[in-house]
Amino acid sequence: MSVSTPNTGPERLHVAVGVVRNRGGDVLIARRPDRVHQGGLWEFPGGKREAGEPVREALRRELEEELGIQVESAAPFLQVRHRYPGREVLLDVWEVTGYRGEPAGREGQPLAWVAPRRLCRYPFPPANRPILNCLALPPWYAVMEGEGSVGGYLDRLHRLIEQGIGLIYLRARDLSDSEYRVLIRACSPVTDPGGAVLMRRDSPSPQPLSRKERGAGGRVEASHGGWGLHLSAGRLAALSARPEGWRYVAAACHDREDLLRAEALGLDFAVLSPVRPTLTHPRAKPLGWPLVGRWLAGRAMPVYVMGGLDRRDLTRARRHGAQGVAGIRLFVNG
């Protein structure tokens, strides 16, 4: 993906990027040469689309030139727009679902096969963060509500973690603010370094994480299992900058404007609802799958869909561009 730096004026690059996996599910990454823009960092293979060239063809050409593989099938995965000083990039990311050949660094670039949850250990250019989030986030987002007591929430949380649910939101609006703080303090020890990431709501006002809980650059390291923050739609509308110091920052979204705002703030993911009629919000007008599909086409961040769905809806959600499915009753029997 090496491109020379222009002498004058902003450069606009449309880059075809491939997510290539092996049979074990590991993802292929390559190290950028030191001499180029963002040199020394890791990236997903791909390169610049030529004028008038279909993106799929650019992907095939670049991966054959860089890796010596022939792409047989690929599907759109994500689109990321990012501004660097002096240049703007559009990363047109495709998931390579079939290829021939064995990848090799034909341009002398070091390669690595990395498990998605371990990609956070490699330094990537800032534009790659949405891709990393999509690869690391699980297909299920459990929302905890209606357990009635701190003890009830702790019991359910343990069961969800035992099921292997890796992303859990403690919404718990049936608890008072003081009870919620007790729950947050009690929940911290139940997470393990390789296990679930817990998300907390933005009310009562969350306290900053300690220095020990923060990773390099003020962010929590992925291996730490630190807290995430889930913003209400109202809080999202009031923000002018992304809250710092959290493992993930997410937001509830109910229309396209909410999604665009979450993207503009650089949030890690969003939850779009309701897709279908739901008992939780009986007066809310369902969005329906066609509208969800239009809003998520060419998405620039992972989005979970929620509202009247069950586990059988995961395939349909993925077809409509969603990262996965979120829900309360979805996991109530766990």
| Tens digits of residue pLDDT in 220-243 | 344 334 789 999 999 999 999 999
- Mean of the pLDDT values across residues 71-100? 89
- Residues 46, 64: Cα–Cα separation, whole Å: 9
Look at residues 191, 188, 199 and name the one whose alpha carbon lies nearest to residue 304: 199
Q: 83 lies in a domain?
A: yes
pLDDT digits (tens, 9 = 90+) for 101-156: 999 999 899 999 999 988 988 999 888 988 998 998 999 999 999 999 999 999 99
Q: Of 53, 87, 121, which closes a domain? A: 121
Please tell me the predicted confidence (pLDDT) of residue 39: 76
DSSP assignment of 86-117 equals TEEEEEEEEEEEEEES----TTS--EEEE-GG
Q: Of 121, 152, 167, which closes a domain? A: 121
Please tell me the predicted confidence (pLDDT) of residue 206: 67
Same domain, 182 and 294: yes
Residue pair 284/274 in contact by the 8 Å Cβ criterion: yes
* Predicted TM-score (pTM) of this structure: 0.79
Same domain, 157 and 304: yes
Please tell me the predicted confidence (pLDDT) of residue 84: 81
Angle separating helix axes 177-187 and 150-163, nearest 10 degrees: 40
pLDDT above 60 (res 218): no
Please tell me the predicted confidence (pLDDT) of residue 217: 34
Same domain, 242 and 113: no
pLDDT digits (tens, 9 = 90+) for 245-278: 888 999 999 999 999 999 999 999 999 999 998 8
Which structural domain, as residue segments, surrounds residue 203? 140-331
Q: 134 lies in a domain?
A: no
Q: What is the CATH number of the domain that holds 242?
A: 3.20.20.70
Same domain, 156 and 104: no
Same domain, 158 and 206: yes
Residue pair 27/20 in contact by the 8 Å Cβ criterion: yes
Same domain, 241 and 95: no
Please tell me the predicted confidence (pLDDT) of residue 333: 59
Q: 111 lies in a domain?
A: yes
Q: What does residue 87 show for φ and ψ, rounded to 5 degrees? A: -155, 150
pLDDT above 50 (res 61): yes
- Mean of the pLDDT values across residues 189-217? 62
Same domain, 299 and 192: yes
Please tell me the predicted confidence (pLDDT) of residue 213: 40
Q: Based on the structure, what is the number of domains in the chain?
A: 2
Same domain, 16 and 145: no
Q: What does residue 317 show for φ and ψ, rounded to 5 degrees? A: -60, -45
Q: 190 lies in a domain?
A: yes
Give the range among 95-99, 194-198, 236-240 with minimum mean pLDDT: 194-198
Q: 132 lies in a domain?
A: no
Same domain, 248 and 114: no
Please tell me the predicted confidence (pLDDT) of residue 207: 58
Same domain, 313 and 181: yes
pLDDT above 50 (res 280): yes
The pair of structure tokens assigned to 308 is: 């009247």
Check the CA dihedral 133-37-81-296 and report its sign: negative
Fill in the amino acid letter for 158: H
Q: 4 lies in a domain?
A: no
Q: 79 lies in a domain?
A: yes
pLDDT above 70 (res 208): no
Same domain, 79 and 145: no
Same domain, 158 and 277: yes
Q: 53 lies in a domain?
A: yes
Residue pair 135/19 in contact by the 8 Å Cβ criterion: yes
- Residues 31, 123: Cα–Cα separation, whole Å: 10
How confident is the prediction for the chain on average, in pLDDT? 86
Q: What is the CATH number of the domain that holds 36?
A: 3.90.79.10
